[in-house]
A and B are shown apart, each in its own frame.
Chain A
Amino acid sequence: MVTSRMAPETKHLEVTLETQVESVNLAEEMCLRLAEAAGFGEDECYRIGMSVREGVINAFHYGNKEKPEKKIHLAVDLTPEKMIIHVADEGAGFVLKDVPDPLAEENLLSTSGRGIFLMRAFMDEFDVVKAQTGGAEIVMSKRLPAPGSAQMNGNGSGGHSANPNTGA
């Protein structure tokens, strides 16, 4: 299901996704197109796409436990200042501070647990709140590029946070 409403300054898009692997690619592709249309450069589009991907993987695997009867709720707000992405699941929720640090020596060889870290690294703001569904809702945002600056992001200097653990 897709709904869209446009206000003079903010564009809003909502999509309800099935709990399946294909939803990860679909969400990434959709947000990539929105990011490109909003003027983000190649590097920032990559970071936004990866973050959406990781958010939906988190909802698919950890939140909804891969149960097909549950849904993943993706929403995007485009304001004049930033692109805000919400990914909500229908699971039990989680507390951000309880998520293990993947950079800790004892976790370096873990085969999972890097998704939250990557979202924090790649987005300007990141938080997890209680969703209306009762599950977890990831809220993350990226500031829009200054007009005319998008083409400069291709040189790799778009800059992700040096310390992802300081996210909002």
Chain B
Amino acid sequence: MALHLTPRDSGLITVVDASGRITLGDGSAMLRKTMRQLLEEGHTKIILNLADVDYIDSSGIGELVSAYTAVRSKDGELKLLHLTKKVHDLLQITKLFTVFEVYSDEGIAIRSF
């Protein structure tokens, strides 16, 4: 399933609702393009809502890390919301849970900035 990303503003925070697969090819490219665009527009406090993303491969993981470092380089923060079990397990075994802030409640995630 192709990746769809829908950014929405919640005050000073941008929440990006994602659905589909973040994998080599279009999925990773779409995430890269969207994050680059958000940063160019000055959005640096971003929550990526992965509630409807149940598949990420190593390319997608690499793109998440790339997005994280790109946002950090602009003195911003990228946080993750609503991980599915598969994505949760993937971030756990790759130790990326120690890198990303992960939330299961959008309100708490927004107030964490």
User: Is B112 interfacial (CB 8 A cutoff)?
Assistant: no
Instruction: Find the A residue at minimum CB distance from B93.
Output: A121
Q: Provide the main secondary structure of the chain B interface.
A: helix
Q: A109-B69, A118-B90, A156-B85 are in contact. List 6 more A-B contacts (CB 8 A).
A: A57-B59, A108-B95, A109-B65, A114-B62, A118-B93, A164-B93
> Which B residues fall within an 8 A CB radius of A?
23-25, 57-59, 61-63, 65-66, 68-69, 85-86, 90, 93-96, 98-99
Closest beta carbon of chain A to B81's beta carbon, Å: 21
**What band does the interface of chain A fall in when counting residues whose beta carbon is under 8 Å from B?**
20 to 34
Closest beta carbon of chain A to B8's beta carbon, Å: 27
Q: Could you pull out 18 A-B pairs where Cβ atoms are within 8 angstroms?
A: A24-B23, A24-B24, A24-B25, A53-B24, A53-B57, A57-B24, A57-B57, A57-B58, A57-B59, A108-B95, A110-B65, A111-B62, A111-B63, A117-B94, A118-B58, A118-B93, A118-B94, A121-B93
> Which A residues fall within an 8 A CB radius of B?
21, 24, 46, 50, 53-54, 57, 102-103, 108-112, 114-115, 117-118, 121, 156, 160, 164
Q: How many A-B residue pairs have CB under 8 A?
A: 51
Q: Is the CB of A54 within 8 A of B98?
A: no
A50–B59 Cα distance when bound, in Å, is 12
Residues in B with CB closer than 8 Å to A57 are 24, 57-59
Q: Is the CB of A108 within 8 A of B25?
A: no
A160–B89 Cα distance when bound, in Å, is 10
A46–B68 Cα distance when bound, in Å, is 26
Closest beta carbon of chain A to B69's beta carbon, Å: 6
Instruction: Find the B residue at minimum CB distance from A102.
Output: B94
Closest beta carbon of chain A to B97's beta carbon, Å: 11
**Given the interface contacts A21-B24, A24-B24, A110-B65, does A54 sit within 8 Å of B95 by beta carbon?**
no
Residues in A with CB closer than 8 Å to B24 are 21, 24, 53, 57
